[in-house]
Chains A and B, each alone.
Chain A
Amino acid sequence: MSDYISHDHEHDGIDRRGFLQCMAWAGTGLLWTISGGVLASKTLAEIAKAGSLPAATDLSFLQISDSHIGFSKEANKDVTETFKIALDRINAMPTPPSFLIHTGDITQLSKPEEFDTFDEVLKSCRTKDVFFVPGEHDVLNDGGKLYRERYLKSVEAKGSGWYSFNKNGVHFIGLVNVLNLQAGGLGQLGDEQLEWLENDVKGLGSSTPIVVFAHIPLWAVYPQWGWGTSDSERALGYLKRFGSVTALNGHIHQVLQKIEGNVTFHTAMSTAFPQPAPGTAASPGPMKVPAEKLRSMLGLANVQYIQGKSSLAIVDSNLS
């Protein structure tokens, strides 16, 4: 297939084939890489053509978020099904990810039966290691007791459930920013957790790649809707000296990315329902889209780490 314009009826430099290619590009995931400060992107289709993702990947993991099991309103009447589809996508990957990170809102209402359904469906995933952080929907009535009993078994959690671990030379930090929220405020980490974080990274060399994950964005995406964390600046201060920091968040049910110095901020799609872009609706509540469009707005994020590269590559792909 050539890239020449064959039919230009509107004299606008776009033919039908070109337009369709462009639209296909818009509907698929993008791979973002940074090399020497230059941001580049590749579509998933291009990656598929070229073979797999970068050949010498040292670590690959998947971020999944906001499954909201128990939600059954118009925006998606079957969130269990779309969660299953997301797991099917993971199971179909030629190279399975080393582990999953779930960035919260496992359930809609923190009900035991919702957690049960989630756990049951998760059993179908071939990748067995899953690391969690809670969303506000997971800690509604018990301050997160049930969540902690179920989802922190494989980690040495402190306080209300924060922890860190190392994989392939990368230091991972799971933070809790959905508890003890103050009237009028945003997400919050709190002094105890921040002190722990300061100590946790103290002994690490500055060349250690850091992945920090939490439910509510660790940057001020849109404070008017509560999309931010009041004391995230202090947390990021402790991470400033590191050459590569990747912050993975959920909560806002859409992909947004920002790069600030050595820090890449990234939010993932939900597997349940989309939410409006910042400020484009009366409230951040579930967004209703035509049924045929829904899956294109749900998805997951694949994160690749290659030793020696200055940042991690993140590929978002939807469920359509």
Chain B
Amino acid sequence: MFTLIKTQKYSAIVFAISFLFLASFTLGQDEKEASATSPGHNQIVIKDFNFSPMVLTVKSGEKITWINRDEEPHTVVSVDKQFKKSTALDTDQEFTITAGAPGTYTYFCSVHPKMTGTIIVEKS
């Protein structure tokens, strides 16, 4: 289990970007399956070489779990190395982190870099 770390100086920019991502998430959410399995625990399903939901908004301190439903290994790697990367997840394997400081965190699969996702962490 790892904690998101973010430097303070970018918080203003990230805060602004957060609103942009939040808007797109709201627009797109009816196409996606519900992500939260229980209050405070959020799941991102990896299926057909996609992170679903692609943009996930959570509260600081909540847990986020990725689960791989593909027959292909995938990874979860922070673009700016903001949190520790997962090892390669085989079918049905999971990876969990705890959301840290508020901000926008982009990540991708280092095996299939076309696969990208975003986590928006809000104040709890």
- CB closest chain-A residue, reference B87: A141
A183 near B116: Cβ-Cβ < 8 Å: yes
CA distance A136 to B72 in the complex (A): 11
CB of A295 within 8 A of chain B? Answer: no
CB neighbours (8 Å) of A226 from chain B are 112-114
CB neighbours (8 Å) of B91 from chain A are 73
| In the complex, per-residue mask of A98-112: 1 if CB is within 8 Å of any chain B CB, else 0 | 000000000011100
A186 near B114: Cβ-Cβ < 8 Å: yes
B70 near A183: Cβ-Cβ < 8 Å: no
| In the complex, per-residue mask of B95-124: 1 if CB is within 8 Å of any chain A CB, else 0 | 000000000001110111110100000000
A186 near B113: Cβ-Cβ < 8 Å: yes
CB of A182 within 8 A of chain B? Answer: yes
Number of interface residues of A (CB under 8 A): 24
A185 near B71: Cβ-Cβ < 8 Å: no
CB of A278 within 8 A of chain B? Answer: no
Stretch at the interface among A89-97, A120-128, A283-291: A283-291
CB neighbours (8 Å) of B50 from chain A are 283
Q: With A140-B88, A283-B48, A283-B49 as given contacts, are A225 and B71 in contact (CB-CB < 8 Å)?
A: no
Question: Nearest 3 A-B pairs (CB), nearest first?
Answer: A183-B108, A283-B48, A140-B88
Beyond A110-B88, A137-B111, list 18 extra A-B contacts (CB 8 Å). A73-B71, A74-B71, A75-B71, A108-B73, A109-B73, A109-B88, A109-B90, A181-B113, A183-B79, A183-B108, A183-B113, A184-B114, A184-B116, A186-B114, A283-B48, A284-B49, A285-B48, A285-B72
22 contacts between A and B (CB under 8 A): A73-B71, A74-B71, A108-B73, A109-B73, A136-B111, A136-B112, A137-B111, A140-B73, A140-B88, A141-B88, A181-B110, A181-B111, A182-B113, A183-B107, A185-B113, A186-B113, A186-B114, A224-B114, A226-B112, A282-B48, A285-B70, A286-B72
B interface with A by C-beta (< 8 Å): 48-50, 70-73, 75, 77, 79, 87-88, 90-91, 106-108, 110-114, 116
